[in-house]
Amino acid sequence: MAQASDTRDLVRRVLSRFHDEPYRYTLDPPPLGADPVDSFLFETRAGYCEHYASAFTVLMRAAGIPARVVAGYQGGEFNRYGGYWLVRQSSAHAWSEIWLAGQGWIRVDPTAAVAPERVESGLQDVLGARAGPARMFIDWPVIAQARALIDAARTAWSEDLVGYSSRTQTALMQRLGLGAFGSGALALALGFGLAATGVLLVILLALELRRGNSDRAQVAWLRFCARLARAGLKRGSAEGPVDFARRVAARRPELAAQVSRVVDAYLAARYWPAPGPGSLARLEALVRAFRVPPAPAPERGAR
């Protein structure tokens, strides 16, 4: 640094060092020692923007030049659907600024001085540079437009609904033509909308309950289970048809064949993707014919 003729020459020499010597850019740098700047400058010579910015700033301060590290973002995408700039975390960057008399703070980006052939990892590697077709797929205009549209919808949801405020309330009333009526009109409109939604939900629930009651296969199955329950063979609330049939067969082997036929018919009528035209009728016929005879008396002498 003693060989530099002035501040600009010193900056040029430091940047040339980063470019000409084997410094490399990587997002996976080796660990540094107790003196991280010294370890970076003279040992590892590998790091990302924060390493280069902090090392450059230390060198400038050692030479008596006011310098500071600045952290922010570099670049962004304009979302034409939402009318805003999208700045991603992947655009985060750090650089340096030095003070020059008569000019003020001047930006210097030491990371940009690293030779391109020694940039070992960056955004390309984060996205998977070796993926080839996958990266091309990500860059398709249709995919990029779809991402922009989804992000605009998510932003609108967050701002207009999650972050609902008096400002968005006033704007909504203006769009609805209710600006002259004040907040009471909006409250009335919202109340009416909620009431209409509640009525619709009640109607849908009633239709669903009616549909459930008209499920003939389920009605037949419940009638079958009720007959077994009266004989002391009650089905558990979490017991499936197959497990229930096995338990009945273990306790009353003489009922195993009848119960198996009813269960097979029930599964066919209720759960098969395309039950046959006679499956429901067969189930109902088997349930009507099903009777539980008294349990056989234990053999004499049996304990």
Which residues participate in catalysis according to the annotation? Answer: 49, 93, 109
Residue keyed to tokens 């985060």: 92
Q: CA of 184: how far to CAs of 144, 179, 187, 293, in Å?
A: 43, 11, 5, 71
What is the pairing mode between strands 104-108 and 92-100? antiparallel
Residue keyed to tokens 């053999």: 299
Residue keyed to tokens 């002035």: 6
Helix axes 256-270, 279-289, angle to 10 degrees: 150
Q: Would you state the structure tokens that stand for residue 97, as one six-digit string? A: 């600024």
Residue keyed to tokens 């940039």: 119
H or E segment and range at residue 69:
strand 67-73
Strand partners, 72: 93
Q: Would you state the structure tokens that stand for residue 190, as one six-digit string? A: 């919202």
Residue keyed to tokens 């991280």: 36
Name 251's Cβ contacts closer than 8 Å, sequence gap at least 6: 233
